[in-house]
Amino acid sequence: MAVKYSMDDVQVAITKVIQCIPVGEGVTKAIALLAFVAEFPTYFSGPFPIQAFMKACSINYRPTADDLRPLLPYPNFLALMMQYREGYRDRNNAPWRSANLNYDVDWEGLAPAARFAGEGPWLVEEFKLLGFNL
């Protein structure tokens, strides 16, 4: 509704509230949050979009078609999710291993796996390609 009426203050307030509320457990909630982040890439920055992505991509989840439905308007996120999950399962062929990214992502709170395994910088670059200002 805020987008429809160009209410920038309301949009900013909504995204700030979303970032403060714990998502809870479950793939459905995690993917719904990721879809919201995907819809408003310019309003989310820092580690939050990547944290939301990593939570939705957890290999502990087995998402169904119904779980993934909120991401259908964002096929780039679905493709990135597939790449990430495949890379996490087969680290030797992970896309971030072949990426030439030589900088550290030093964000407090970013999942330890991303800080040390190499996917952090790769995810930052991928999110920049998706329109995020990280």
CA dihedral 98, 91, 128, 25 (to 10 degrees): 180
How many angstroms separate the CA atoms of 75 and 62, rounded? 18
Q: Is the dihedral of CA 134, 2, 20, 16 positive or negative?
A: positive
What are the residue ranges spanned by the domains of the chain? 26-129
Q: What percent of the chain has pLDDT over 90?
A: 20
Residue 116: predicted pLDDT: 46
pLDDT mean over 42-70: 88
- Whether residue 28 is predicted with pLDDT greater than 60 in this model: the reply is yes
Name the nearest CA neighbour of 55 among 64, 46, 63, 44: 63
How many angstroms separate the CA atoms of 35 and 38, rounded? 5
- Supply the angle between the helices 48-56 and 75-89 in degrees, to the nearest 10: 70
Residue pLDDT, tens place only, 37-46? 999 888 888 7
Residue 80: predicted pLDDT: 94
Residue pLDDT, tens place only, 82-128? 999 888 888 888 888 776 655 555 555 555 545 545 677 888 889 98
pLDDT mean over 56-77: 91
- Name, in order, each residue with C-beta under 8 angstroms of 103's C-beta and a sequence gap of 6 or more: 121
What is the pTM for the complete model shown? 0.75
Residue-averaged pLDDT of the chain: 79
Asked if 43 and 131 touch (Cβ cutoff 8 Å), the reply is no
